């Protein structure tokens, strides 16, 4: 599989580039690329095909030549995940799998029923690891964007994050919901998604931890963001399965996972 590297700069108009630092070290010493090999380079969400011109393994630098732009790989619909903090390495799996499917960003949040408690030091270490996992998964799955990964330690921080995002639709996955399925909510959204005028939507999915959301959290989502409680069917999914399943179903409905191209609920 072709290597894929991400850069926080613009490559428009540039044909020859030198890769150094951590990425150059990874390219030269870990991947051990050779002159003539090709790689995908992503600059601020735009992907290009590049050819390796020379490698200095001692310095950890690689010189490349931009050959052509590559087709975009990102979903038009932007789907975000609000994930209740789960125990063990479940969040790592969630970030990895949802990145591969096409999530736009993940907010991990402490909840009333979260078993794990993170202080500031532990939270910083976790965020760093989750972001590295997202970057690796984005490269492996040939994404054009590395999804954002953030952490909220309080309900007010969750509110602030959602206020900045301003989703057109917030879907609250709720095991107690029986009347409204995910597909029905997408096709009959009402609320903020009404009147999108054909533009791709911004959707947020809220998934609780192992014990689910408590009633205070449910009411906050509903009162402040008109969240729609939805079901994924009669089977109870684990917290590490629910978000990926909902994300996949939504992107399929929007023609992003082999569904009808350009489909808009």
258/74: higher pLDDT: 74
pLDDT of 233 above 80: yes
- 4-69 and 78-253 share one CATH topology? no
Predicted model pTM: 0.89
130/17: higher pLDDT: 130
185-230 residue pLDDT tens:
888 765 454 445 567 899 999 999 998 999 999 999 999 999 999 9
Which of 27-31, 224-228, 248-252 has the least mean pLDDT? Answer: 27-31
129-154 residue pLDDT tens:
999 999 999 999 999 999 999 999 99
State the DSSP string of the chain.
---EEEESS--TT--EEEE-HHHHHIIIIIS---TT-EEEEEETTEEEEEEEEEEETTTTEEEEEEEEE----S-SSEEEEEEE--STTHHHHHHHHHHHHT-SEEEEE--TT-S----HHHHHHHHHHHHHHHHHHHHHTT-SSPPEEEEESSHHHHHHHHHHH--SEEEEE-TT--S-BHHHHHHS--GGGTT-TTPPPEEEEEE--TT---HHHHHHHHHHH--EEEB--SSPPPHHHHHHHHHHHHHHHTTSSSSSTT---
54-96 residue pLDDT tens:
999 989 999 999 999 999 999 999 999 999 999 999 999 999 9
Share of the chain above pLDDT 70, in %: 92
How confident is the model at residue 196, as a pLDDT?
A: 53
CATH superfamily of 4-69: Hypothetical PUA domain-like; domain 1 (2.40.240.20)
- The domain spans of the chain are 4-69, 78-253
Q: Please provide the average confidence, as pLDDT, over all residues in the chain.
A: 89
How confident is the model at residue 148, as a pLDDT?
A: 97
Confidence of residue 261 (pLDDT cuts 50, 70, 90): low
Q: Region 147-164: what's the mean pLDDT? A: 96
How confident is the model at residue 105, as a pLDDT?
A: 98
CATH topology for the 78-253 domain: Alpha/beta knot (3.40.1280)
How confident is the model at residue 75, as a pLDDT?
A: 94
Confidence of residue 3 (pLDDT cuts 50, 70, 90): confident
């Amino acid at each position: 599989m072709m290597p894929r590297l991400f850069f926080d700069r613009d490559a428009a108009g540039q044909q020859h580039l030198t890769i150094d630092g951590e990425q150059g070290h990874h390219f030269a010493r870990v991947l051990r690329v050779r002159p003539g090999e090709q790689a995908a380079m992503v600059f601020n969400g735009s992907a290009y095909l590049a050819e390796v011109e020379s490698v200095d393994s001692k310095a950890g630098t690689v010189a490349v030549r931009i050959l052509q732009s590559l087709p975009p790989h990102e979903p038009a619909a932007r789907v975000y995940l609000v994930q209740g903090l789960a125990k063990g390495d479940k969040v790592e799996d969630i970030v990895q799998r949802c990145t591969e499917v096409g999530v736009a960003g993940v907010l991990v949040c402490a909840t009333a029923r979260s078993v794990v408690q993170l202080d500031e030091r532990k939270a910083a270490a976790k965020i760093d690891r989750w972001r590295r996992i997202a970057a690796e998964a984005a490269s492996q799955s040939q994404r054009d964007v590395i999804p954002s990964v953030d952490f909220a330690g309080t309900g007010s921080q969750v509110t602030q994050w959602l206020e900045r995002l301003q989703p057109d639709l917030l879907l609250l996955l709720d095991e107690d919901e029986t009347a409204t399925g995910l597909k029905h909510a997408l096709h009959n959204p009402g609320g903020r998604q009404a009147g999108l005028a054909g533009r791709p939507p911004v959707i947020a999915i809220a998934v609780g931890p192992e014990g689910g959301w408590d009633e205070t959290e449910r009411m906050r989502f509903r009162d402040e963001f008109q969240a729609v409680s939805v079901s994924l069917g009669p089977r109870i999914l684990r917290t590490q399965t629910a978000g990926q399943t909902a994300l996949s179903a939504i992107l399929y409905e929007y023609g992003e996972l082999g569904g009808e191209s350009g489909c808009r609920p």
